[in-house]
Each structure stands twice: as C-alpha cells, then as structure tokens.
C-alpha cells in the first residue's frame, strides 16, 4: 500500500469535514468529492471552524498545512487519492453502489475506508474491484479532536490494508483500535447504544429528564471514563483483589431487572420530551457555540491527560513525539553548507500566536526558539531515550531581541549557530527570519547538561558531545553574532 500524501473524501458532511480538518492540519492534501456542489463552501467552513481548536491541541512543530480542493467528479477524486475515506449516508445499497463505482477508478493499492457507524465491511465489499483493500475506519465526532478510529476488516480484507490504514491514522494523530471480528455497530456504538436505550426508557417513563441524565454522567462516570474504561474502573472497585472480587460481590446484581434491553417506541410524546430537554440544557446557545465549547474542553482534557501519558493524552504525546522527530529530520535533510548556521526549523505563524497588536506574541518567540533547540538536540541524539536515561539539557539563560514585526500567516524559519561548547555546557545563537529573509528576532541561549537523578550538572556522553563538537567546529570560523553576550541596559 502506498504512502498517503493525498486523502480523498467520498462525501463530505459533518464527518467528512472533520476528516478534512484533521488531515489538512497535519500536512495531508485533501480532495473532497461530493455530488452536491454547494458542499464545497460547507466543508471549507467546517475546516475553518475546526482550526482554532486544532491549533491549540499541540504546540509541537507542524508540517506545512495540506491543500484542500473540491470536485463533484467522484471518479476523478478516486484516480488521484492515496487513501479514500467514504462518508456518504448510512444506506447500504447507496454505499455499495458508490464504493463499487469508485473502486473501478482507484488504483488497487489505495485503501478505501468507510466511516460507517454500523454496517459490516463484508457487506460493503460485495461489488468492489479489489475488495481486499476495503476496511471500516469508524471515527467519532468531532473527528478532528477525538482520536479514536475503529478498524474493522471484512471477509476479504487483507492484513496489508489494515496495517496501511493503521499507519495513516496514527500519522494524523489517531488511536487506531483494531476490532477482532466484524459485528454490526462495531464496538463503541454498541456500548453507546445500550446507554442510549436506557436513557430513552427513563425519559419515556418519566423517571428523569435529559438534563438530569446528562448530569449523572458529567459529574460521575464521565470523568472516570476520560482516562480509564469501564472494565478498569470496575477492577479498581474490587479493591486489592480487583475484578475477581468485584464480580463476586456485584455479579448477582446482573440478574436484577434493572435494564431494558429493547428501546421504547419513539412516540411523538417521547420525541417532544427529548427535544425539550436538550433545548433547555442548551440554554439558547447555538449549535456552533456548543461545538466551540465542546472543542475547548476536549483540547483541555487531552492536554491534561498528556501529562500522565494515559488515554487520549497518550495518543497526543505520541503524536507530538513524531512531530518533533519529523521537524528535526526535515532540518537534517537540508543540503545546507555545514559551516553555515543550521536551518533547523521552518513554520508558519498561527492565528493563536497573535497578540492584541496583531503581532506574534512574546511567548511564541520563545516557543519557536525552543523548537529550534529541540531540533538541534535530536540531531545530536538528545531525545526521549536520553531523558529516560536520566539526562537532559536544562536552559539556564535566554536573551531575546526583537528586530521586525511578524504577523499571522507569515512563513518563518530559524537558523542556529553553536557559539560555545564544553562537556557540560552549550551556548547557541538563534536567528528568526520571516520568509522574505528579513531578520525578525534573535535569541542567545545557554544550556547545561544535568544528571536528573543526581540533580546536578554532569558531562555529556561522548557520542552526544562528539556530534555537538562537530557542529561547533564547523561553526568556529563564523563571525561571532552581533548581540551575543549582550545584557539588557539603557544607554548612557
């Protein structure tokens, strides 16, 4: 299966818009195909609405954003895409017909994934050309923030297709969960459906309102579920004996008539109760307002979980590691003069980096210079393994000078010159340029290598020091940067 540089969307809508936003953000071009031409403006609006939350998800260096194009020619999209994500309505005959059509135009090594929430892949493969590349890749709304995607293979699906899909979804920051056997509704929707049926019964029977039932999740199990699933939570409920004791203690309850396995009839009265309840909870806020609120807390939750490397936070942390490594690799792959300052970082000024004057805000300069230092570390072998071994470079001093304005959407790059090195210390000088070559800012930084277990400075390992020493020697002939060693002060 091929490397994915262009994602083809077969159908747009809410899910298609989410796929587009996520892929574009992480550098994948997107061809959105829909038979309705008016969906072009819709999907562009959906991508724009998702961008503020996506931009806050991580501060790791990102590749250049992908480019979005739109067509009403499904076959033309299929011929150009490296991976196709189908998002058309949940009508099996419609999906079968369109997937069969598109499969005749997509090269055989292009994976075709369906976003279906319940249809089994074997049914979708029925009339396809090269059906072995069809999988279910079922995401969750909002696709651009929720990392889960269920991977389900059909009877004819190849292992290569599953693995190629896993690699692609992981690349764009998702947690790819392989479902062992195809089953209607896959895994998560079956669990959600069981909860949903109980909600409908309790509202229908007048036991609780939609708001009260939402509170029963928000303030209780919902908080636990963000990092631990039901099974692990129940394992904790058993105390030191874990799940075995929990089942012994609470197992008999499973025979009690608590649940209703079949959903109630959706009468007009029940529909009215559901609509009135959810409208009351919305409290006059529009769907777009509620989406922004949801996106804000989803970003915040994932950033908190990242500190503990658990759940969606673990997925985010893995994505950031990949982004930092890729940024360092891009810098290392440049064929620059080794005796010149290293061009380690290229980026674009994001909307959330702008202050009230319309310029890049102070803290973001430090972030950009820090990312350039990180790229230098990785070139020298200072990475996750280095830190896990109890070593790290700590910043002991930073001086930033501002030379020119930098505004939203400006392209920027950083060059780095090593101006001092011994076995414990490293002194670097960064220059931040706009894409037009204008010098925008400089930063001088001093770092000390630390034994994090002993909590004191320590010599760098020979391999790391040797790599930094080679760079320092290559830079030894460069003029000392103007401003290096400068202290803040008012002239007299």
CATH number at residue 32: 3.40.50.720
Choose between 278 and 448: higher pLDDT. 448
Question: 41: which residues sit within 8 A by CB, 6+ positions away?
Answer: none
| Final residue belonging to a domain, choices 185, 210, 241 | 185
How confident is residue 79, by pLDDT bands cut at 50, 70 and 90? very high
Specify if 15 maps to a domain.
yes
Kindly state the average pLDDT of the residues 121-146: 95
Sort 255 into a burial class: Cβ within 10 Å, 0-12 / 13-18 / 19+.
exposed
- Average pLDDT on 450-470 reads 94
Q: Tell me, yes or no, whether 307 lies in a domain.
A: no
User: Is residue 119 classed as helix, strand or coil in its secondary structure?
Assistant: coil
Per-residue pLDDT reduced to its tens digit, 367-416 = 999 999 988 998 899 988 899 899 999 999 999 999 999 998 888 999 99
Query: Are 415 and 341 in the same domain?
Result: yes
CATH number for 390: 3.10.129.10
Task: Output the CA torsion sign for 186, 189, 192, 197.
Answer: negative
Does residue 481 sit within a domain?
no
3-12, 332-341, 411-420: least confidently modelled range: 332-341
Domain of 197, CATH number, reads 1.10.1040.10
At residue 72, does pLDDT exceed 90? Answer: yes
Residue 270 located in a structural domain: yes
Residues 163, 236, single domain; the answer is no
Contact (Cβ atoms closer than 8 angstroms) between residue 374 and residue 328: yes
Quick one: 262 and 366 in the same domain? no
Average pLDDT over residues 243-260: 73
Query: Do residues 220 and 138 both lie within one domain?
Result: no
Helices (H), 283-407: 287-308, 311-333, 362-380, 384-388
Residues 203 and 164 in one domain: no
Give the bridge partners for 401, in sequence order. 442
The answer to whether residues 229 and 345 belong to one domain is: no
Instruction: Let me know if residue 483 belongs to a domain.
Output: no
Domain count, the chain: 3
Boundary residue ending a domain (284, 313, 344): 284
Per the domain annotation, does 96 fall within a domain? yes
460 within domain boundaries: yes
CA distance 342 to 419: 12
- pLDDT score for 248: 76
Please indicate, yes or no, whether residues 202 and 120 belong to a single structural domain of this protein: no
User: Does the pLDDT of residue 303 top 70, yes or no?
Assistant: yes
Other residues' Cβ atoms within 10 Å of the Cβ of residue 232: 14
- Do 53 and 170 sit in the same domain of this protein? yes
Q: For residue 212, is pLDDT > 90?
A: yes
The pLDDT value recorded for residue 229 is: 79
Domain boundary among 185, 204, 237: 185
Domain span holding position 74: 6-185
- The answer to whether residue 492 scores a pLDDT higher than 70 is no
Mean of pLDDT over the chain: 90
132 and 12 share one domain: yes
The dihedrals phi and psi of 423, each to the nearest 5 degrees, come to -65, -15
Say yes or no: 59 and 150 in one domain.
Answer: yes
pLDDT at 104: 96
Q: Are residues 148 and 41 located together in one domain of the fold?
A: yes
Regarding whether 149 and 77 lie in a shared domain, the answer is yes
**Domain contains 324:** no
């Amino acid at each position: 299966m091929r490397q994915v540089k262009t994602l083809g969307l077969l159908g747009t809508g809410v899910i298609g818009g989410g796929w587009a936003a996520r892929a574009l953000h992480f550098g994948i071009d997107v061809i959105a195909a829909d038979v309705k031409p008016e969906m072009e403006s819709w999907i562009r609006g959906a991508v724009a609405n998702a961008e503020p939350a996506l931009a806050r998800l991580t501060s790791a260096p990102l590749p250049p954003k992908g480019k979005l194009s739109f067509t009403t020619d499904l076959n033309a999209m299929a011929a150009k895409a490296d991976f196709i994500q189908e998002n058309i309505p949940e009508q099996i005959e419609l999906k079968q017909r369109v997937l069969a059509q598109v499969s005749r135009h997509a090269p055989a090594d292009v994976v075709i994934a369906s976003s279906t929430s319940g249809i089994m892949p074997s049914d979708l493969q029925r009339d396809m050309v090269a059906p072995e590349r069809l999988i279910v890749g079922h995401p969750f709304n909002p696709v651009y923030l929720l990392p889960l995607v269920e991977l389900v293979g059909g009877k004819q699906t190849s292992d290569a297709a599953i693995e190629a899909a896993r690699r692609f979804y992981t690349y764009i920051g998702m947690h790819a969960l392989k479902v062992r056997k195809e089953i209607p509704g896959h895994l998560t929707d079956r669990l959600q459906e069981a909860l949903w049926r109980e909600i409908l019964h309790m509202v229908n029977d007048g036991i609780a309102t939609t708001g009260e039932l939402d509170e029963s999740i928000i303030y209780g199990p919902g908080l636990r579920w963000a990092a631990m699933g039901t099974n692990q939570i129940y394992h904790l409920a058993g105390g030191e004996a874990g799940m075995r004791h929990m089942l012994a203690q609470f197992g008999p309850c499973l025979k009690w008539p608590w649940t209703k396995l079949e959903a109630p009839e959706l009468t007009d009265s029940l529909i009215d109760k559901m609509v009135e309840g959810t409208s009351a909870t919305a409290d006059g806020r529009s769907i777009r307002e509620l989406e922004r609120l949801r996106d804000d807390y989803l970003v915040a939750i994932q950033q908190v979980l990242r500190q503990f490397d658990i759940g969606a936070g673990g997925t985010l942390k893995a994505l950031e590691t990949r982004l930092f490594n890729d940024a360092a690799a891009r810098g290392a792959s440049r064929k620059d003069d080794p005796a010149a300052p290293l061009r380690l970082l290229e980026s674009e000024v994001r909307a959330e980096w702008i202050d009230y004057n319309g310029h890049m805000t102070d803290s973001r300069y430090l972030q950009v210079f820090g990312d350039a230092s990180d790229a230098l570390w990785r070139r020298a072998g200072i990475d996750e393994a280095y830190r896990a071994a109890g070593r790290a470079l700590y910043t002991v001093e930073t001086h930033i000078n501002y030379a020119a304005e930098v505004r939203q959407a400006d392209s920027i790059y950083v060059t780095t010159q090593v101006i001092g090195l011994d076995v414990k210390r490293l002194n670097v000088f960064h220059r931040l340029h706009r894409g037009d070559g204008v010098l925008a800012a400089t930063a001088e930084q001093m770092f000390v290598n630390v034994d994090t277990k002993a909590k004191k400075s320590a010599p760098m390992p020979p391999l790391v020091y040797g790599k930094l020493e080679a760079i320092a020697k290559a830079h030894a002939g460069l003029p000392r940067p103007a401003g290096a060693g400068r202290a803040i002060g008012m002239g007299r």
